[in-house]
Structure 1
Amino acid sequence: MADTIISLVVERTGDLLIQKIVFLKDVRGQVERLQNYLVRMRCFLKDADQRQDEDARIRNWVSEIRAAAYDAEDIIEIFASKIESIKDKGFVTRLAYYPWRMVSLNKIGKEIESLQTRLDDIAASREKFGIKNLGEGTSTHGEELQRLRRSSPLSEDKDIVGFEKITKSLVAELLKADRNRRVVSIIGMGGAGKTTLAKKVYNHADVRERFNCRAWVCVSSSYDYKKMLRAIIKQLNPITNELLDMLEKMEEEDLERRLYQDLQDKCYLVVLDDVWEEAAWDCLARRAFPDVGTSSRVLLTSRNRDVAQHADAYRHPYELKTLGQEDSWHLFLKKALGDGANAGCPPDLEEVGREIARRCGGLPLAITVIGGLLLGKNKSKTVWEEVLNNFSAHLSRSRSEAGAILELSYADLPANLKFCFLYLGLFPEDSVISVRKLIHMWVAEGIMQKRDAVNLEEAAAYDDVERLCSRNMVQVAEMTVDERIKSCRVHDLLRDLAIRKAEDEIFFQIHDTRDDQISAKSRYLAVHSLPLDKNYLGSSTPPLRSLLFFNVREVSLGFRSFRKLRILDLEDVKMGYNLPKEIDKVRLLRYLGLRDTYIGKLPHSVGCLRYLQTLDMRRRYANWKVKVPNFIWKLESLRHLYAKGMECDVPLKIEGLRNLQTLSGIRFDDIMHNDMTTLTSLQKLGIWVDEWSEIDELCMHLSEVGSLKKLHLFADAIRLQPILAGLSNLHRVTELKLSGRGLFMLPPDFPPNLSRLSLSSTWLEDDPMQH
C-alpha cells in the first residue's frame, strides 16, 4: 500500500513540475530533491509492506512514510494553486501580490526543508525497526497464511449444505463422452466452498470408477513448481525411497517429462486447487498434462475468473454463490449444535443464532468456523450473544482458516488494487455502489496510473472494478444491457477485512457514533448515521482527502478546516442552508457531490475550484431546484457535470471546457447558446427538451461535435412526436436514449451509426420492436 502511495506521489510531483513549471520555478530545485528522496525511500517499502501484519513497529514506520508522501504532495499542490489563482488577474493586481508571493515562496521553502528533516528521521529509524534484515531466517505472515490454506482431498466435509445441484452438474460434466482433455473450473470468493465442492466431486463414486488415475494438488498464490510436479507424481506411483530420492534430484524438465509419461496412456483426473495465476496453469498444461484422446479431465478451482477462462476459453466456469438464508441456517445448526441439530435449535437461542448465521453472509467457511467455535461452548444465550458482539474478532483471529483465506485474497492484490479495495470499505454495509460514482472518485483521488492518451483514467478505473470483480473481491450487483458493470457491492466479511486493514494502516476512519474521536491522522473519513441531535465533526482538523456522508440528515461544515480535500460527497444530506462561500478555500477539490441535498443555491466562489472534475447536482424530484450563477465555464478541469435540477438566470456558458466528457440534465436553450464544437472531449450528453425545442436545429448544432457518442433526450408531459426529427444528422452518435411521457411513437429517423437504442418512461402503446 505505502509503495503505491509513494509511487503515485512521485509521479504526481513530477507532473506538477511539468504542468506548473511557471509557478514552481523558484522552488523547482527543492521539489526535485524531495521527489528524488521519495524515490530512494520507495526502495525499502516493498518488503516493509509485506511485514506490516507481523510487526506493529513496521506498520507504524510505513504509515509515517505514507503520511510524509501525502504531505509532500499537499504542500506542492496547495502552493501551486495559490500562485496559479492570480495568473488571470491584471498587471497592477499581480504587482500588488508580489510581496505575498515572496512570503509564500519562503514559506514553502521552510515546509519542504521541514519535510526533508522529517524524512531523514524516518529513514534513520529503519534499522531500529529491523527493515534492513528482512527475510533472514524469518517466516513471513504470508507464508503462515499459505500453510493454513493448504488442502487435501482426504478430509471431506460430510455436513455440506446447498451444493447438491451443482455437484450433480459437475459430475455430469466430468463424465461427458468427449475424448479430448477438458478443463472444468469452479470459481468463487475465498471461503465460498470451492475446495469443499471439489472434494465432494473428486470422491464421488462415479468419478472414482471412471478415472483410473487421480491426483490432487493445492497450488496456492506462491507455488513452487517443482514441488507441485513431485506431489502429483507421488500420487500416481507407489512411494519408495528410490522414487523419493530420484524426484529430489530431478530438474524441472525431467519432472515434467516423468509426469507426462505417467499420464500419457491414462484416463486421468487431476484437481488443481486454489490456482491464482495463469502462469501456474500454463506450466502444467503445456508441458506436463498430455491431451491424447483418453477422455482425461482437469478440475480447477480459483478465486479469479480470468484464470478459469484462460485455462479453457470455450467453457464457462461454475460459479459458487453464497448460501441462501435457510441453507446458511441449516449449516450453522449442524456446525454449532452437532448431533443436536437434528432436534432443532433451542427456542431461546434461535434469534441470536439466526443473526450470527446472517453475519456470515452465506459464506460456508465463516459459518463452519463460527459454528465450530460455538460447538465447544455452553449452549447459553449469553455466550452466543458474546460471540455475535465480537463476531469480527472471532473470525479474523490469526489462526482462523477463515481469516487466513480472506487475508490471502487481499494480500494477493496488486498494490493499486489494494488501495481501491480499501476505499470500498468507506461505504456502509450492504451498500449497492454505483460504478460510475466510484470511478469518478478514484480518478479524483488520483490513484489511476497515468496513460499515454488523454481521458483514459476513467477507462483504467473501470478496468480496476472489473479486476476486483474477476478476483471475487467485489460482487456485481447490476449489469447494463451491453454487459458492463453498473453497480457493485462488497461482501460483509470482506468489508470487515477492508476496515480492519485500513484502520491498521491509519488509511481511513468510519465515524458512526457521537463518541467517536476523529484521528488527527485520518486522510479518508466516512460519516455514517450520526444522531439527529448532534451532527458534528468535533474540533479535530485532520488532513482529509476524502469526506463522505451516508445516512446523515444534517451537518455543519467549516471549509477552512479542510483545505486538503479532494473529494466531498454530501449526497442525500438534507442541508438546511446553502453551500458556504468559503468552499473556495478547498482549492484542491476534485469531486463535489450535492445530489439530492436541500441546497438551493451555489455561491459564485465554486467557480474558483480550478481542479474540480466532477460536479453532481442531480435532484430526484422536479421541484427540487438549485440556482447556479454563471460560473461553470471557469471550471477548466471539469470532466463530468450532472445538472438535472440546475437553474441559471441567464443562458449557461459552458463552451471552452475542453476536458468535459459528461454533460447530463442540461436545458435545450443552454445548449443552443454555446459553441458545442469547443467541447472537444464530450462523449455523453443528456438534454431536457420541451414542446418549443427545435430538435432538428439541435441535431444540426450537435452534428460537428466529433467526440459525441451517447445522446439522451429527456421530455416530460409533452408530445414530442411532431418535432422529434433530424436525428439522422448525428453521424457519430452510436447510443440514443429517449425518456419521458412525451414520446408516443418512434421518431421518423435515427443516427445512421446507431448501435443501441433505449426507451424509458414513454407512452408508447405498441411494441415498436415487433416491426
Structure 2
Amino acid sequence: MADPVISLVIGRIVDLLNKNSVFLKDVERQVEKLKVDLVWMRCFLKDAEQRQDEDARIRNWVFLVRAAAYDAEDVIEIFASKVESIKDKGFVTRLAYYPWRNVSLNKIGKEIESLQTRLDDIAASREKFGIKNLGEGTSTHGEELQRIRRSVEDKDIVGFEEKTKSLVAELLKEDKNRRLVSIVGMGGAGKTTLAKKVYNHADVRTRFDCHAWVCVSSSYNHKETLRTIIKQLNPITNELLDMLEKMQEQDLEERLRQDLQDKRYLVVLDDVWKEEAWDCLAGAFPDVNASSRLLLTSRNREVAQHADALSHPCELKTLGQEDSWQLFLKMALGHGANAGCPPDLEEVGREITRRCDGLPLAITVIGGLLVAKKKLKSEWEKVLNNFSTYLSRSQSGVLAILELSYADLSPKLKFCFSYLGLFPEDHVISVRKLIQMWVAEGIIQKRDAKNLEETAAYDVEQLCSRNMVQVAETTVDERIRSCRVHDLLRELAIRKAEDEIFFQIHDTRDDEISAKSRYLAVHSLPLDKNYFGSSTPPLRSLLFFNVRCHRKNISLIFKSFRKLRILDLENVNMYFNLPKGIREVRLLRYLNLRGTYISRLPHSVGCLRYLQTLDIRNSEYRLRVKVSNFIWKLESLRHLYAYWMVCDVPLKIEGLRNLQTLSGIRFEDVMHNNMITLTSLQKLGIVVDDRSEIDKLCMHLSEVGNLKTLHLCCNSDMRWPQSLAGLSRLHHVTELELVGLDLRMLPLDFPPNLSRLSLRSTYLMDDPMPVLEKLGQLSFLKLKATYFGPQHVVISRHGFHQLKFLELSRLLALDEIKVEKGALPQLRCLRIRSCSRLRKLPEELKHISSLDALELVDMPKDFISRLDADLVSSVPNLRTF
C-alpha cells in the first residue's frame, strides 16, 4: 500500500500543474521532474511503511519524504494563489504583472531546485536505510465495497441477552437506598453497548422519574461532567447555559443535588477511568430513599468496587467461542448467522475468530474488513496469515487487529481515518462538517466537482461499513448524519496521524506547539496572546474545541499561517470582528465562525478566492451578521451558512457557479440577483418579512433548475398577509421548510413534487391534516409549534399514502390524534415530542404493519404509563427520551 500522504499530494501536484500550465511553462521541466521523483519514491514506501515501526532510521526516511511532498505542494499552490489574485485586476495592474511574473517564476524555480536537492539527498540515503526497490508493480487496494452495510447496531451484538436481563433486574430491585450497578471489562468488550441496552429498556425507562447519561472518559473534567448531567435534567435555555458557565464546582454540585432531590433517578456514568473521578461526583447524587440508581462502566474493576464495595460488578470478560462465531458470521458474511458459513471458509473463519479472542470490537472490525473481500479461502487466509505481523507491533492485541483493518484501507481512506483523530474523545462529529473539511483538504479528488460531497459521503459509509467509525445518528432515509470514533480506534488514528500527517493535539497549557505541525487541534485550552509563542508551524488545519468561554482576542497572526486550508473557530466566543489580516490566508478553503458572536465580516474576506465553505451562523438565531458586498468574488464558494446576513447595498451573488448551499440571505437580495446563474444551487434559505412578495419570489426561483430545498424564515412578528400560492411554480423543489410565518391557514398549493415538509411556528388555527394528507409524494412531515386550533387532528382513510416519517412537536393544545382505518400505510417512524395535553396514542397504529419505530420525547410520565400494551408490543422499537 502506497503511503497515503504521498499518494494524495502527488495527485494534487499533478492537478495544480495542469491548472497552471500557462503560468508555469517556464519552470514546467522542474515541476515535472519533481513529480516524477515523488512518484518514484512512492514505489519504496510500501516496504518502508511495514518496517518503520521496527526501525527508527526507516521511520526518519519516510518522514523526510512526506515533508518534502508537503513543501512541494505548498510552493506550487502559493504561487498559483498569487496568479489568481491578479486575474480580476485592472489593465494597469495586469501590465505591471509581467515583470512580477518573471521575478516570481525565478523565485519558484529556485524553490523547486531546493526541493529537488532535498529529494536527491533523500534518495541517496535510501540504500543506507536498507529500503528495497519494490518496483512499479506494487499493488494498491483498488476494490470498492460491493455493498454498504449499516454500522453494527446494539441488537447485532450476541451474547448480551442474559446480562441485560440481570442488570435490568438489578436496577429494578425494591431497595429504597441509592444503589450503584457497574459493568467492567477491557476496552472494546461492549460495556457501553450493554449499558445502552439496559438504559433504553422499556421497564427501566418507565421506572425512573428522570434519566441522564454522561461519558466521563480518561480526560475527566469535573465541571463539564456536572454541566452535562444538569442539561439533561432541565429545559435548555440561554439563561441556563449562561448560569452553568459561571457556576463554580460547589455551585454545580449543589444544583445537581437540587435537581435530583426527592426524585427516583437513573444516571449512567460511562467510561470512568479513575477512582478520583467517582470521588468528585459521588456527593452530587442524593440518597433520599427513592430507589435511585447509578450505572457505571469502567475498564478498571477496582474503580467499580471503590465506588460501591457492596456491589458485584457485571464483568464482560469476552464473548464465548460460539457467541464469537455467531457475531463473526453476521459481520463477515453480511447476513444472519443461521444461514451458516460456506464449508471451505469455516476452518479459516473459526481460526480468525479464535485470534480475535472474543472481543466484540475486534470481531466487528475484522468482519467489516472481510465483508469487502471476495468469499475465497485464499483471501481469508491472507488476513489470517498477517495476524502475527501486526500482533508483534503492539502489546495490545486489540490495536494490532485494528491496525490490520487500517492497513487494508486505500490511501485516501487512511488519510480520512487519520483525520478523525483531531476530534476530541467521544465527540459526536457532524458528517456534513467532516465532508466539507475533507473536500477543503483536497482529500477528495474527482473530476466532476459537483459530486465531491457525494464521494466523501460514500467514504464515510465505507469507514462505517468496516466498523472503523460508528454511526451516531441517521436520517429518516438512513443517511449518516453524525458519527463517532471508538476510543481504541481514535488511539490508532492518532498514532498513525502523528507520523503520517504531522498531526498534533494540544490539550494542556504546558504542551509546546511543534514547529513541524501541519494539523493542529486545540482541545479545552484557555487561550492567551502568546499562545503560539515564537512558533510558526506550517499549519494546514487549525481546529478549536471546547473553548466556548474564551472572551479575549486570539492571537492569530495570519501572515504566519499562509498555508492554512482549514480554520475552525466554532463556539470560540471571540466577541470581536474578524481581523482584516484574514486576506493573508489565501489558500483558506474552510472558515467556520459558527457561534463566535462575530457581528461583521471584513471586506478582505473577498480575497479568499479558494474559500469553499463559510459558516457565520451565530448562537442567537436572530443575531444578524453584517457582510460587505464581496460574496460574488468567492468564485470557489460551495456552502454559505448564515441565519441572517445584512448588507448596506443589495448583496451581489450572481455567477457563483459552484455554490450549492446558501442560507440566511434576505428576500430583497435574492430579488436583485439573477438566480439562474447559480447553476449548482441546491439548498436556499431566505429571510422574509411581512412585506416580502412570495409570489414574485417563486416566479424568480422557478427556473433555478437544481434547487431542491427551500427554507423561508420570517423575522417579523406581524401577521403574514401574503399569499403562498406561488409555491406551486417550484417544480424542482422537493423539500420545503416554513418557519415563523403567521399563516393562520395553509395554502392549497405546494410544490408539486414535494417529498419533505417542515412547518415551525406557523400558528395555524385549522386542522392542517386535510390539506397535507393530499400531498401525493410527501414522505417526511414535521410539525413543530404549528397548530393552535381545535384540540384534535384527523388523518382520514388512505391519507398520507406515501408518508414514512411523521413528527408532531410542541402542539400544546393537542389532546387527541384520530387515525382512520387505512391511513398512513407506509409509516415507518412516528415521533411525538412535548405534546403535553395528548391523552393517548391512536388505536389504529397497531394495525400499521410498516411502523418500525415509535419515539416519545419529553412526554408526561402519566402518558407513558397509560400506553396500550398491545400497541407497544406491536411496534418493534419503542424509544422514550
Q: Pairwise mapping of residues 501-650 of structure 1 onto structure 2 (< 5 A)?
A: 501-505=496-500, 507-531=502-526, 536-552=531-547, 553=550, 554=552, 555-650=554-649
Deviation at 1:586, TM superposition (A): 0.9
Corresponding residue for residue 336 of structure 2: none
Deviation at 1:732, TM superposition (A): 1.0
Corresponding residue for residue 753 of structure 2: 753
Inter-CA distance 30–743: structure 2 relative to 1 (3 Å threshold) = farther
Alpha-carbon displacement from aligned partner over 1:99-134 (angstroms, at most 9, x marks no partner): 332221111000000000101111112122221178
Alpha-carbon displacement from aligned partner over 1:12-58 (angstroms, at most 9, x marks no partner): 22222222223222222221221122111111122222223332322
Corresponding residue for residue 703 of structure 2: 704
Alpha-carbon distance between aligned partners in 1 of 2:399 and 2:583, rounded to the nearest angstrom: 45
Amino acid aligned to 1:411: A
Deviation at 1:701, TM superposition (A): 0.4
Inter-CA distance 739–33: structure 2 relative to 1 (3 Å threshold) = same
Q: Secondary structure at the match of 1:89?
A: coil
Deviation at 1:698, TM superposition (A): 0.7
Corresponding residue for residue 75 of structure 1: 75
Alpha-carbon distance between aligned partners in 2 of 1:279 and 1:682, rounded to the nearest angstrom: 35
Corresponding residue for residue 438 of structure 1: 434
Corresponding residue for residue 9 of structure 2: 9
Inter-CA distance 413–744: structure 2 relative to 1 (3 Å threshold) = farther
Deviation at 1:497, TM superposition (A): 2.1
Alpha-carbon distance between aligned partners in 2 of 1:126 and 1:461, rounded to the nearest angstrom: 35
Count of equivalent residues: 571
Amino acid aligned to 2:486: H
Deviation at 1:743, TM superposition (A): 4.5
Corresponding residue for residue 659 of structure 2: 660
Deviation at 1:85, TM superposition (A): 1.4
Q: Pairwise mapping of residues 168-567 of structure 1 onto structure 2 (< 5 A)?
A: 192=190, 196-197=318-319, 199-201=321-323, 274-275=366-367, 276-278=369-371, 282-283=375-376, 398-451=394-447, 453-505=448-500, 507-531=502-526, 536-552=531-547, 553=550, 554=552, 555-567=554-566
Alpha-carbon displacement from aligned partner over 1:326-372 (angstroms, at most 9, x marks no partner): xxxxxxxxxxxxxxxxxxxxxxxxxxxxxxxxxxxxxxxxxxxxxxx
Deviation at 1:464, TM superposition (A): 1.0
Inter-CA distance 720–396: structure 2 relative to 1 (3 Å threshold) = farther
1:164 to 150, 162, 165: 162
Alpha-carbon distance between aligned partners in 2 of 1:606 and 1:748, rounded to the nearest angstrom: 43
Deviation at 1:232, TM superposition (A): 8.7
Contact 2:562–2:585 (CA<8 Å) still a contact in 1?
Answer: yes
Amino acid aligned to 2:481: K
Contact 2:473–2:480 (CA<8 Å) still a contact in 1?
Answer: yes
Contact 1:479–1:487 (CA<8 Å) still a contact in 2?
Answer: yes
Inter-CA distance 126–48: structure 2 relative to 1 (3 Å threshold) = same
Q: Secondary structure at the match of 1:282?
A: coil
Alpha-carbon distance between aligned partners in 1 of 2:373 and 2:680, rounded to the nearest angstrom: 42
Deviation at 1:202, TM superposition (A): 8.0
Q: Secondary structure at the match of 1:526?
A: strand
Contact 2:65–2:119 (CA<8 Å) still a contact in 1?
Answer: yes
**Structure 2 residue 44 is the aligned partner of structure 1 residue 57:** no
Contact 2:366–2:401 (CA<8 Å) still a contact in 1?
Answer: no
Alpha-carbon distance between aligned partners in 1 of 2:24 and 2:662, rounded to the nearest angstrom: 33
Deviation at 1:456, TM superposition (A): 0.9
Deviation at 1:192, TM superposition (A): 4.5
Corresponding residue for residue 120 of structure 2: 120
Amino acid aligned to 2:421: G
Alpha-carbon distance between aligned partners in 2 of 1:437 and 1:199, rounded to the nearest angstrom: 41
Q: Pairwise mapping of residues 665-744 of structure 1 onto structure 2 (< 5 A)?
A: 665-716=664-715, 717-720=717-720, 722-740=722-740, 742-744=742-744
Q: Secondary structure at the match of 1:525?
A: strand
Alpha-carbon distance between aligned partners in 1 of 2:707 and 2:617, rounded to the nearest angstrom: 22
Q: Secondary structure at the match of 1:109?
A: helix
Specify every segment of 5 or more residues in structure 2 that has no aligned partner in the other structure, as ranges: 136-157, 167-186, 194-316, 334-341, 352-362, 385-390, 774-793, 796-881
Alpha-carbon distance between aligned partners in 1 of 2:348 and 2:671, rounded to the nearest angstrom: 72
Alpha-carbon distance between aligned partners in 2 of 1:528 and 1:658, rounded to the nearest angstrom: 36
Deviation at 1:76, TM superposition (A): 0.5
Inter-CA distance 479–273: structure 2 relative to 1 (3 Å threshold) = closer
Amino acid aligned to 1:446: G
Q: Secondary structure at the match of 2:574?
A: coil
Corresponding residue for residue 257 of structure 1: none
Deviation at 1:603, TM superposition (A): 1.5
Alpha-carbon displacement from aligned partner over 1:301-332 (angstroms, at most 9, x marks no partner): 99xxxxxxxxxxxxxxxxxxxxxxxxxxxxxx
Deviation at 1:655, TM superposition (A): 0.5
Deviation at 1:226, TM superposition (A): 12
Inter-CA distance 272–70: structure 2 relative to 1 (3 Å threshold) = closer
Contact 2:44–2:134 (CA<8 Å) still a contact in 1?
Answer: no
Inter-CA distance 747–163: structure 2 relative to 1 (3 Å threshold) = same
Alpha-carbon distance between aligned partners in 1 of 2:706 and 2:75, rounded to the nearest angstrom: 36
Deviation at 1:650, TM superposition (A): 0.8
**Structure 2 residue 150 is the aligned partner of structure 1 residue 28:** no
Alpha-carbon distance between aligned partners in 2 of 1:645 and 1:445, rounded to the nearest angstrom: 28
Q: Secondary structure at the match of 2:513?
A: coil
Q: Secondary structure at the match of 1:128?
A: helix
Alpha-carbon distance between aligned partners in 2 of 1:726 and 1:10, rounded to the nearest angstrom: 51
Alpha-carbon distance between aligned partners in 2 of 1:272 and 1:545, rounded to the nearest angstrom: 34
Deviation at 1:408, TM superposition (A): 2.7
Inter-CA distance 227–693: structure 2 relative to 1 (3 Å threshold) = same
Alpha-carbon distance between aligned partners in 1 of 2:109 and 2:8, rounded to the nearest angstrom: 22
Inter-CA distance 34–226: structure 2 relative to 1 (3 Å threshold) = farther
Alpha-carbon distance between aligned partners in 2 of 1:647 and 1:399, rounded to the nearest angstrom: 58
Alpha-carbon displacement from aligned partner over 1:262-293 (angstroms, at most 9, x marks no partner): xxxxxxxxx9995433476633699xxxxxxx
Alpha-carbon displacement from aligned partner over 1:634-661 (angstroms, at most 9, x marks no partner): 1111111112232211110000001111
Alpha-carbon distance between aligned partners in 2 of 1:493 and 1:70, rounded to the nearest angstrom: 29
Contact 1:568–1:589 (CA<8 Å) still a contact in 2?
Answer: yes
Q: Secondary structure at the match of 2:577?
A: coil
Amino acid aligned to 1:44: F
Alpha-carbon distance between aligned partners in 1 of 2:331 and 2:60, rounded to the nearest angstrom: 35
Deviation at 1:466, TM superposition (A): 1.1
Q: Secondary structure at the match of 1:126?
A: helix
Deviation at 1:578, TM superposition (A): 1.7
Deviation at 1:190, TM superposition (A): 6.4
Deviation at 1:501, TM superposition (A): 2.1
Alpha-carbon distance between aligned partners in 1 of 2:480 and 2:346, rounded to the nearest angstrom: 39
Inter-CA distance 497–86: structure 2 relative to 1 (3 Å threshold) = same
TM-score of the pair, normalised by structure 1: 0.68
Alpha-carbon distance between aligned partners in 2 of 1:748 and 1:8, rounded to the nearest angstrom: 53
Amino acid aligned to 2:707: L
Contact 2:627–2:646 (CA<8 Å) still a contact in 1?
Answer: yes
Q: Secondary structure at the match of 2:52?
A: helix
Alpha-carbon displacement from aligned partner over 1:52-75 (angstroms, at most 9, x marks no partner): 333232222222211111111110
Deviation at 1:436, TM superposition (A): 0.9
Contact 1:9–1:70 (CA<8 Å) still a contact in 2?
Answer: yes
Amino acid aligned to 1:282: K
Contact 1:590–1:614 (CA<8 Å) still a contact in 2?
Answer: yes
Corresponding residue for residue 293 of structure 1: none
CA RMSD in angstroms comes to 3.6
Alpha-carbon distance between aligned partners in 1 of 2:373 and 2:31, rounded to the nearest angstrom: 44
Contact 2:666–2:688 (CA<8 Å) still a contact in 1?
Answer: yes
Alpha-carbon distance between aligned partners in 1 of 2:761 and 2:647, rounded to the nearest angstrom: 27
Specify every segment of 5 or more residues in structure 1 that has no aligned partner in the other structure, as ranges: 136-159, 169-188, 205-214, 235-270, 287-300, 303-394
Q: Secondary structure at the match of 2:449?
A: coil
Inter-CA distance 402–534: structure 2 relative to 1 (3 Å threshold) = farther
Alpha-carbon distance between aligned partners in 2 of 1:499 and 1:231, rounded to the nearest angstrom: 32
